[in-house]
Amino acid sequence: MNLPAAGTAPLWVQTLKVSTAEQTHALGASLAELLRAGDLLVLTGELGAGKTTFTQGLGEGLGVREGIISPTFVLVRIHPNLADGPHPGGPDLVHVDAYRLGSASEIDDIDLENTLDSSVTVVEWGRDRVEHLSESRLEVELHRSIGGAAATHVAGSAATGAAGVLDFDADDDDEPRTITIRGFGPRWADQPVLKQASEGTP
């Protein structure tokens, strides 16, 4: 299989606005309804941008076991689908933090291939590290509207592996955020319809 290069242009880009942590969570839950086993999501965003809140929404939408937190110290957490949950028989959620992994080969060392086909895999700080795992992926980028150049600089440094503040995804507060979703590969040839989160349930 010829996988797309990391720099391949997305097939489509959708930008959404959220005003609260609840809306970030709700957008993740809404996106989960479109996901299936084998899907790969790559999350990026500065400290407190809402990556964990978004992933918690994904988990709720998929019907997996609760307790989603940042996997920074363990690299990988697996949240199994609940047989008595809202979507029994659905895929598990594999939540990965690639901050400490400097290359695609280090990603290979944690054997994500073993769960990729049967799960939805979400990788924080996965850009330029996980593209080789699948011919299709969604990239989800979260930006705080308040945070300024300093926050952006920290995020950029962390994403490139430079010394800086680790992304523990501090408690979400209710401030505006921009969430940009990019679709890559044949799985996402058609852009999904995602409702503007600020128009949904507050």
Dihedral sign for Cα atoms in the order 14, 186, 4, 79: positive
Least confident stretch, 32-41, 95-104, 144-153: 144-153
Domains in the chain: boundaries: 36-187
pTM > 0.85: yes or no? no
Q: Is the pLDDT of residue 116 over 70?
A: yes
pLDDT of residue 69: 84
**CATH dotted code for 36-187:** 3.40.50
pLDDT of residue 196: 59
pLDDT digits 0-9 by tens, 75-98: 899 999 999 888 899 999 999 988
pLDDT digits 0-9 by tens, 132-149: 999 999 999 999 876 543
Q: Is the pLDDT of residue 112 over 50?
A: yes
**What is the chain's percent helix, strand, coil content, to nearest 5?**
25, 25, 50
pLDDT of residue 67: 87
CA dihedral 158, 159, 161, 165 (to 10 degrees): 10
Q: How far is CA 28 from CA 35, 133, 140, 165, 194, in A?
A: 11, 22, 10, 25, 10
Q: Is the pLDDT of residue 151 over 50?
A: no
